[in-house]
Structure 1
Amino acid sequence: MRVLLSTYGSRGDVEPLAGLAVQLRALGAEVRVCAPPDEDFAQRLSGVGVSMVPVGPSARALTTAAAPPSASDLPRRAAELIAGQFEVVTAAAEGCDVLVATGMMPAAAGALSVAEKLGIRSVSVTFQQLTLPSPHRRPLAYPGRPFPPEVTDNRVLWDMDAQSINALFGEALNTNRVAHGLPPVDDVRDYVIGDRPWLATDPVLDPWQKTPGTPGTPGTPGTPGTPGTPDLDVVQTGAWILSDANPLPAELIAFLDAGTPPVYVGFGSMPMHASRDVAEVAVEAVRAQGRRAVVARGWAGLALLDGRDDCFIVGEVNQHALFARVAAVVHHGGAGTTTTATRAGAAQVVVAQATDQPYWAGRVADLGIGVAHDGPVPTVESLSAALATALAPETRARATAVAGTIRPDGATVAAHLLLDPVRRERASMSA
């Protein structure tokens, strides 16, 4: 059995696929991943024995560019991503039994169109629920397309979201679909989500709130939705976690052993264009709390600004093992980092930058396992105050308690949901 996992995005869009790929291989499937051509992605996947097919431009180069994409740039970039999906994913998907599509919406739309063209079963997956229409919350706004402040009805806002997505990506998607013999789609968002999307997040950290009358139990078919309410049958598998057996570097272990638990500071794939200032602010805030610091370089290239022995710089490292040994984790609020820190029982300070990160910051605060920093640009004073709350004994106790509720088996659940229907179908055909 052959499975293709397709994504385009940052580390947070690739790492979960590595976790799923390992579980699929354990069940006997052949797996390959289509992902951006960044070296760290290829190394991560090859490290778990999974081949990667590069697609599109470097995600790191796009993310760390000096200027973020403007609203006028998005349709052009979408057209390039979708064309690349048709070119690369079509070849990679030949002979596959199922395709999993995730990542940026235009890329997912292209990958799902390829599966449609080849007659392959496909599944649409998201690693945060904010792209799934719900009357309980408003959608995220795209750059340059803010929602009118006077509109507060969530259902109206979701209709406007669909219109924005069609305006940004519809022409590019349908041009490519028609060129490959497929009919155009009327609603890009509905096409990508489908009527049974998967939500690969932990139900404690990220509970999906069902609307009365919509399908009920995650992972199983439900009853039809009532008129006027979304009828998405969301399958929440749990987060796709890749267990990391790599030991921490000896030098890092020596640093950890040399004093009280430090505070980890890292912003993952976020560019943090004022990275020098951010690193300096963070270290000063940590020192103000009488703590040492472990600073992760990340895509922002954070660096230490002095030679004092109370700080240690790290690159790629076993985050779960490290987070279990620190006093708190200061991070950007990516879904993966938030889940890892929560599983490790670490108190958190989330300095959210964009997209879904404010949501994860809010979840951390709501669960009482850390602090949502007020705004994306910390000062020594604001970060030190947030750390004081995160480092309080009651926050640590709550973080330890919540850690025991996080499910570790999401990738296993998803692997069975992918493969079992194909196996049953083959068994019935051969009977």
Structure 2
Amino acid sequence: MRVLLSGYDSRGGVEPLVALAVRLRARGADVRVGAPPDEEFARRLAGVGVEMVPIGQAVRPLVTGAKPPTAKGLPERAAELIAAQFAAGADGCDAVVATGLVPAVAAARSVAELRGIPYLYATFQQLTLPTPHHPPRLTHAGRSLPPETDHRALWKLEARNIDALFKTSLDTQRAAHGLAPVDSVLGYVLSDRPLLATDPVLDPWQETTDLDVVQTGAWIVPDDRPLSADLEAFLRKGEPPVYAGFGSMPMRASQDAARVAVEAIRALGRRAVVAQGWAGLGHSDERDDCFVVGEVNHQALFGRCAAVVHHGGAGTTTTAARSGTPQVVVPQNGDQPYWAGRVAELGIGAAHDGPAPAVESLSAALETALAAQARAAAVAATIRTDGADLAAKLVLDEIATR
């Protein structure tokens, strides 16, 4: 059996597909992953021996370029992405699992429909799933947003906004391949039984009659890559440092963000490890209490840190929680304020108020987090590690049933 995992997304959306690919292969399936043609994604997949199918434009240059994408050009970019997903196809595949940006996922399901093979939708945060228990993060489609408070009404509005942005492009490509128009892009993407690939302790799903959701647990692949010799030497040289990194977030005032983080950490008498990330963070003074890293194994590093300061991506939040290390979330956009709130509610760290920390505000949040060590360690013991394997079984069962 061959399975296509499709995920047009940043690193946080591609990494879980690596985990699922590894578990599917362990169960005897052949796997390929459709992802943006960023060099780091290709390198990561090659490292676990999984074939990559390039889809669309590389994401990192779009996010970090001098002129980042704006909402104004979204329909045109979506049309290009839909066409690229159709062109990638699913030749020889027995199922498609898709996640990431809505237009790419809708096109991936269309490809599965065209080939007559099973399709499963996966999400790495529940805010994309319609439920009366929370509102959507409304997509603006050139309309005034009403002062509506009923969650179901807001989800209907969200479905209309998504149709306004993507439906014409999707239906045009579908028609070119002999497929009928979809009734609703959002409904088509979600399917009847979406997979919620998050940990039930970190991200508890409340059952609803609106949707039959299967929460698998987070998709995590064990990472045995060693830390560099220089980083190992730094870690052994003194007390556990505080990690600060913001993943794929551009953090456009990047050097100032690094300065603020290091000064806030130093204010508490701690050493720092600063991750460059997509923002290219760094630190230029010559003091020996700060170490700058590029690509690094978070699973190996976080457990050796006193605290983790990060942007609040689902994967980083989960990895920090599994390590038992308290965390400070400085949310930038998207689902990150949600994860910041969950960290604070669980008592395993602190949520910084706003995306632009000052030395004083970050130092205060870090002090709160450092006091949560015992609680962070207790919650770490409850985090599931079998999510990817459960999802792999569900995918293969779906193929067998069909």
Common topology (TM > 0.5): yes
Matched, 1:70 2:85: no
1:422 Cα deviation from its structure 2 partner: 2.8
How far did 1:148 drift?
3.2
Structure-1 residue corresponding to 2:221: 242
Tell me which residue corresponds to 2:344.
365
Change (3 A) 1:180 1:296: same
User: 1:424, CA displacement in angstroms?
Assistant: 5.7
> Which of 288, 293, 310 does residue 309 from structure 1 map onto?
288
How far off its partner does 1:61 sit?
1.0
8 A contact 2:11–2:248 mirrored in 1: yes
Cα distance between partner residues in 2 of 1:263 and 1:52: 35
Q: Distance in 2 between the 1:424 and 1:105 partners?
A: 27
Given candidates 109, 127, 130, the residue that maps to 2:127 is 130
Distance 2:87 2:50 in 1: 21
Distance 1:86 1:42, change over 3 A: same
> Which secondary structure does the structure 1 equivalent of 2:127 belong to?
helix
Alignment CA distance shift 1:308-1:146 (3 Å):
farther
Instruction: Name the CA distance, whole Å, in 2 between partners of 1:194 and 1:155.
Output: 18
The secondary structure found in structure 2 opposite 1:102 is: strand
- Equivalent pair of 1:71/1:145 in contact (CA under 8 Å): no
What one-letter code is carried by the residue in structure 1 that aligns with 2:38? D
What are the superposed Cα offsets for residues 101-134 of structure 1, whole Å, 9 maximum, x if unpaired? 1111100001110000011111011111101001
Provide the C-alpha distance between the structure 2 equivalents of 1:167 and 1:70, rounded to a whole number of angstroms.
17
Instruction: Please say if residues 125 and 199 of structure 1, whose CA atoms lie closer than 8 Å, have aligned partners that are also in contact.
Output: yes
Q: Quick check: 2:243–2:302 contact (8 Å CA) kept in 1?
A: yes
Q: Is 1:110 the counterpart of 2:107 in the alignment?
A: yes
> Which residue of the partner structure matches residue 166 of structure 1?
163
**Distance in 1, Cα, partners of 2:164 & 2:68:** 19
Task: Tell whether the 8 Å contact from 2:141 to 2:165 is kept in structure 1 after alignment.
Answer: no
From 120, 123, 138, the equivalent of 1:141 is 138
Aligned-pair distance for 1:348?
Answer: 0.5
Aligned to 1:263: 242
1:277 matches 2:256: yes
SS at match of 1:72: helix
8 A Cα contact 1:66 1:273, kept in partner: no
Query: Which amino acid counterpart does residue 18 of structure 1 have in structure 2?
Result: V
- Secondary structure of 2:148's counterpart equals coil
What is the SS of the residue equivalent to 1:243? coil
Matching residue of 2:28 = 28
- The answer (yes or no) to whether the contact 2:6–2:35 under 8 Å persists in 1 is yes
Note the residue ranges of structure 2 that are not aligned, 5 or more in a row: none
Q: Classify the secondary structure of the residue corresponding to 2:135.
A: coil
Following superposition, the deviation at residue 66 of structure 1 comes to 3.2
Give the structure-2-normalised TM-score.
0.98
Distance 1:146-1:274 versus aligned 2 partners, 3 A rule = farther
**Corresponding position of 1:224:** none
CA drift of 1:359 comes to: 0.5
> Over aligned residues, Cα RMSD in angstroms?
1.3
Aligned to 1:325: 304
Q: Provide runs of 4+ in structure 1 moved above 6 Å.
A: none
Q: 1:290 aligns with which of 269, 272, 275?
A: 269
Taking structure 1 as reference, are residues 294 and 147 closer, same or farther at Cα in structure 2, changes over 3 Å only? farther
CA displacement at 1:418 relative to structure 2: 0.9
User: 1:65, CA displacement in angstroms?
Assistant: 2.6
1:146-187 superposed Cα distances (whole Å, 9 cap, x missing partner)? 873621111111111111100111111111111111000121
Partner of 1:183: 180
Contact 1:141 1:147 (C-alpha < 8 Å) held by counterparts? no
8 A contact 2:118–2:399 mirrored in 1: no
- In structure 2, the residue matched to 1:219 is none
TM-fit CA distance, 1:62: 1.2
Do the aligned partners of 2:99 and 2:122 also contact (CA within 8 Å) in 1?
yes
Contact 1:298–1:315 (Cα < 8 Å) also in 2: yes
TM-score using structure 1 length: 0.91
**Residues 11, 143 of structure 1: alpha-carbon distance in 2 compared, 3 angstrom cutoff:** farther
In 1, Cα distance between the equivalents of 2:155 and 2:65? 30
The one-letter code sitting in structure 2 at the alignment partner of 1:286 is: I
Query: Who is 2:316 aligned against?
Result: 337
Matched, 1:9 2:9: yes
Letter of the 1:105 counterpart? V
Q: What amino acid does structure 1 have at the position aligned with 2:32?
A: R
Q: Distance in 1 between matches of 2:226 and 2:110?
A: 41
Distance verdict in 2 for CA 1:297–1:146, change over 3 Å: farther
Bigger mean CA offset, 396-405 vs 145-154: 145-154
CA distance in 2, matches of 1:149, 1:301: 39
The amino acid across from 2:102 in the alignment is: M
